[in-house]
Structure 1
Amino acid sequence: MTSSRKHIHLSGICGTAMASLAGLLQLQGHRITGSDKAAYPPMSDLLQSLGIPVLEPYSESNLDPVPDMVVIGNALSRGNPEVERVLDERMPFTSMAALVHEEFLQGRESLVVAGTHGKTTTTSMLSWIYQVASHEDAALEPSFLIGGVAENFGTSFQLRPTRTFIIEGDEYDTAFFDKGPKFLHYFPDALILTHVEFDHADIYADLEAVKVAFKRLVNLVPRRGLLVAFDGSTNVTECIGKAFCRVERYGFKPESDWQIRNLRHMDGKTQWEVWRNGELWSELAMQLAGEHNALNATAAAALAAGQGISKEVIRTALGGFKSVKRRLEVRDVIRGITIIDDFAHHPTAIRETLRALRSVYPDSRLWVVLEPRSNTLRRKVLENELVESLRVADRVILAGVYQQQRIPDTERLHPEDVVTALNASGTPAELHPGATEIVESLAPNLKSGDVVAILSNGGFDGIYEKLPARLRARQN
């Protein structure tokens, strides 16, 4: 496909990875069209800025004129009109992950960041380290594909004629015709493995199935490669047990290759020491809060150092790293009330987000507004873990489960049970069906100094706009 300009149509183009792929393909010189059920930000805004048309809703006519290739997003299944026409007419089709490998990874050095949590931020950090390193050596300027908008770049993708391609390795399935995880298409030359926990309950039967996927990824790293792996997870330890490449561990354990010591949040920054093989390697600092982000940064530092980037460059890059959109993002401050947006999709991610907010706002009353929207949070399989995570907050408000009718009652999370358990444990909690009702209940009770963390991996029915508007309209 790299030999000439093609017309490529992306069905499901508004997904984060698909929209980013559209941008990369356009940079390659291809003509791009796309379709989705309904265009929605932030990716619809990105596509509009790129001049890429989005047809909605899905329709057989969206494939006129017939494209040279159709990329079918993993949200589409049999019965979708575009899928059916592609199959009926035997149009050439592929998946996002397979096309990324064919079009961008072959002939490059593939640096993959994988794990149940932290991979978007870690990928962004690693990309920024390489970008800063390129100021001294232009050959290090990276191409990248990230599952979020990295604020240092203002985008989720970049394409350069250099050798390095940094990519977020998603463990979610690839397409209706390829149920393996996306990251098996990326063939890492070097790999970061952050966490391994049970997630994506809609496609993985249990933790063992998740571990099998990560073991297969580890098995793709060549002998000459490098695997940087978190030291605080027995699941990670099991998944890397048969690696053929060099393995370096990072975390808090004294015996680890990259040990974090003296972690603190002060003067608006997170600061810590990194000890390598028992000797002080560097002191690092960054704007992002939270132990989890110090771990993410240390992982990125370890892999970059393993690829020959100096500690001075790494220190400078992390010190100037901003964040990723929808990761502890301050959306507004109104009447002294701080509104935070976070993508938290799993009980562990929720716990780490709230612990980070506690470190930044130690004297504030912390409210959490949660929409159970991810395919894991919509199910009750991790209900007990969710309750424990939410107990970090001072007050909790839950919305109804997103599209609850799609999940059998026996499998579905029942938010009323979570609210009952929280109240019984001493954490005041309440349940409201949606964003409008939540705003009407919450806004009158907020006061200056409060912090409101809104947790959802979707649009949450406009609550990010509704709550600020309601607060501004408040008389006192």
Structure 2
Amino acid sequence: MYARRSAGKHAAKQRIGPDPEEMTPILVTLPAVSCDKITTEIKEGASDMSERQSSPVALTPGVRVFFIGIGGISMAGLAEISRSYGFEVAGSDRHTSPRTDRLATLGITIHSGHSAEWIDAFSPDLVVHTAAVHEDNPEWIRARALGIPVADRADYLGWLNQLFRQVVNISGTHGKTTTTAMCASILVQADVDPTVHLGAELALFGSSVRLGQPGEVMVSEACEYMKSFLRFYSTTAAILNIDYDHVDTYANLDEVVDAFATFALLTPPEGTLVVPAFDPGVATMMDRLADTVEDDVDRLPRIVSFGMPDDRLRGTPPTVVCTGLRYESGFPCFDVQIEGLPYASIRLRVPGEHNVKNALAAIACAWLNGGTPEAAEQALASYTGAEGRFDVRGTYRGATVISDYAHHPSAARATLQAARTLPHNHAWVVFQPLTFSRTRVLFDDFVEALLPCEYVIFSEIFSDRETNPGDMSSSMLADRVNDRGGHAVFAKGFEEIQSLLDAVVSEGDLILVLGPEDIREFADWLIARA
């Protein structure tokens, strides 16, 4: 039995999803908390950001857009979407790559290295750059000199959002890529034909993007780094969780909560905010939202929550509920109810309780935008993960090698918990921290997260946007883990890591390679030497 609440197949001119009139905001009948200074900042932030969302040029066929840093996973996706809309596209990056090679096959001009000459040759109407590119870039300098508008990636993605009738932006400290991929997979299965923008490649798409019906439904990740997500436009906005991260952007957790509250308020009243009923950071944010709007509840989007039967969001049970959770061969199976009615029976092929939560959020977002119960069941039963998200890469000496972008203590805990649910003998962990600032601020949390590991090999900290301060190293993490009674070692280079693994690995083990792409490349390097 299913609760037939969504409109099912994609309708060209009519909004798809459940009837908005049947949904009631959770905050209406609940008392607010006192938070005057914060709510003033949230109100002003939402007002300021909503006024920024307009492109300096008309994004219509024939407009010429140049991307500085076009080889990045997000930038490459934006370039491909732009090309599909009839824009003339070119770009540059420090090096060519399989990603830029793919763009070249689509007719996009790719330049290796950075030079003002590329701007003169292409004569763009708009230049878009990544957060890693700064004002001293020669292409940026030349564009400014010629009076060409220069925008960052986040602004441009926000402008692309506005080309679509329905936009699902999925945010949160953890789980964005997986949840976005799951939601997109459900909508594809339901024949909604979404355009999708991911932060990793998905086998289903053969890319990090999917080109769907122009102007209809877009599904995208919404990252909080540099407050990027405050430039986006959503009809459905999801916040999966709120944790302290991006310490080079936010001074403390309060600032992170404020940013997510502003993101929530940028969702129009006719839109929907999807949130967990169990996350303490989100609970704090909802309290602040309640105080921000005071009695003006019409400013708020509708609220759809997800969680377990006993979870509560400001005293209210979740809209989307997981029941009967169990594990079969290490993988979660559960039933879903929506608004109190049976909706779907789900069997995941990715492990871990965190993926149950990701799936619930994905089902909620898809349900609001034309997903069906059958599509949720079929899509999630075949979903095996995005690139670098509990990504089974192969075997080495009979051990299964898994790579995961677990660059935060909470993400590392979730990945390790997921691994424990799988049949195995021993689990050997290779971990590389991402950025010196994050490692410094979250040092003790990293130690606590990795202390339970049977054996962890630390690779040196990786950062492509920070200068090495000289007083922070992964060796310090290894020393602290050992001081606390754990088992850790610091290794320099792939060969040394391989040598350490060779001394312990046997058939039936797991090798977990955790961290940024720099260390995840080790997984494939190791398998090639099996």
Normalised to the residue count of structure 2, the TM-score between the two structures is 0.80
Correspondent of 1:147 among 199, 212, 226 = 199
Candidates 118, 125, 129, aligned match of 2:186: 129
Aligned residue identity for 1:202: D
1:137 corresponds in structure 2 to: none
The answer as to 2:374 corresponding to 1:312 is: yes
Is the Cα contact below 8 Å between 2:234 and 2:267 reproduced in 1?
A: yes
Partner of 1:447: 506
- Among 434, 446, 452, which residue is 1:373 paired with? 434
**How many pairs were matched up?**
454
The answer for the alignment partner of 1:216 in structure 2 is 262
- Are 1:439 and 1:463, in contact at CA under 8 Å, matched by a contact in 2? no
Which position in structure 1 is the counterpart of 2:170? 113
Number of the residue aligned with 1:30: 87
Relative to structure 1, the CA distance from residue 143 to residue 77 in structure 2 (aligned partners, 3 Å threshold; closer, same or farther) is same
Aligned-partner residue type, residue 377 of structure 2: R
Asked if the contact 2:161/2:234 (under 8 Å) is kept, the reply is no
- State the Cα distance separating 1:45 from its structure 2 match: 4.9
Instruction: Within 5 Å, give how 1:162-181 maps onto structure 2.
Output: 163-173=216-226, 181=227
Q: Give the C-alpha shift of residue 231 in structure 1.
A: 2.0
What amino acid is aligned across from residue 143 of structure 2 in structure 1?
Answer: V
Q: Give the match for residue 44 of structure 2.
A: none
Return the match for 2:444 from 371, 376, 384.
384
The CA distance in 1 between the partners of 2:106 and 2:148, in whole Å, is: 26
Structure 2 unaligned residues grouped into runs of 5+: 1-57, 291-299, 311-316
Taking a change above 3 Å as real, the CA distance of residues 202 and 39 of structure 1, as seen in their structure-2 partners, is farther
| Structure 2 residue identity aligned to 1:312 | E
| 8 Å contact from structure 1 (residues 434, 461) kept in 2 | no
The answer on whether the counterparts of 2:173 and 2:245 sit within 8 Å (CA) in structure 1 is yes
Q: Aligned in 2, Cα 1:463/1:53: closer, same or farther, shift over 3 Å?
A: farther
| Aligned partner letter, 1:216 | T
Report the counterpart of residue 393 of structure 1 in structure 2: 453
Correspondence list, 1:245-260, <5 A? 245-252=301-308, 254=310, 255-260=317-322
Give the SS at the match of 2:462. Answer: coil
Distance 1:428 1:100 in 2: 44
Deviation of 1:368 (Å): 0.9
Which residue does 1:54 correspond to in 2?
110
Match of 1:63 among 91, 112, 119: 119
Distance 2:437 2:365 in 1: 30
Is 1:185 aligned with 2:247? no
- C-alpha deviations, 1:331-356, integer Å up to 9, x for none? 12133121111111211111111111
Preserved CA contact (<8 Å) 1:71 1:96: yes
Contact map agreement 1:201 1:375 (CA 8 A) in 2: no
Question: Does the C-alpha gap of structure 1 residues 315 and 468 become closer, same or farther in structure 2, counting only changes over 3 Å?
Answer: closer
Residue 398 of structure 1 deviates from its aligned partner by 0.3
Query: Does the CA contact (< 8 Å) of 1:110 and 1:188 recur in 2?
Result: yes
Point out which structure has higher relative CO (alpha carbons under 8 A, 6+ apart): 2
Q: 1:325 aligned to 382, 387, 402, which one?
A: 387
User: Where in structure 2 are the equivalents of 1:415-426 lying within 5 Å?
Assistant: 415-426=474-485
Q: Distance in 2 between matches of 1:353 and 1:34?
A: 36
For the structure 1 residues 453 and 359, does the alpha-carbon distance in structure 2 shift closer, same or farther, using more than 3 Å as the test? same
Identity between Structure 1 and Structure 2 (%): 30
Q: Are 1:436 and 2:495 counterparts?
A: yes
Q: Deviations over 1:315-368 (max 9, x none)?
A: 22222223211111111213312111111121111111111111123x321111
Once the two structures are overlaid, the 10-residue window that deviates more, 81-90 or 324-333, is 81-90
Greater CA deviation, 154-163 or 348-357?
154-163
Q: Tell me the distance in 1 between the aligned counterparts of 2:341 and 2:160.
A: 42
Distance 1:146 1:90 in 2: 32
Distance in 2 between the 1:358 and 1:376 partners? 30
Once the two structures are superposed, residues 400-426 of structure 1 have per-residue CA deviations (whole angstroms, 9 ceiling, x without a partner) of 12259814356x4x3223212322344
- Structure 1 gaps, min length 5: 135-139, 174-180
Q: How many angstroms apart in 2 are the aligned matches of 1:157 and 1:163? A: 15
Shift of residue 223 of structure 1?
Answer: 1.8
Which of 350, 360, 375 is the equivalent residue of 1:288? Answer: 350
Taking the TM superposition and a 5 Å limit, the aligned residue runs for 1:253-268 are 254=310, 255-267=317-329
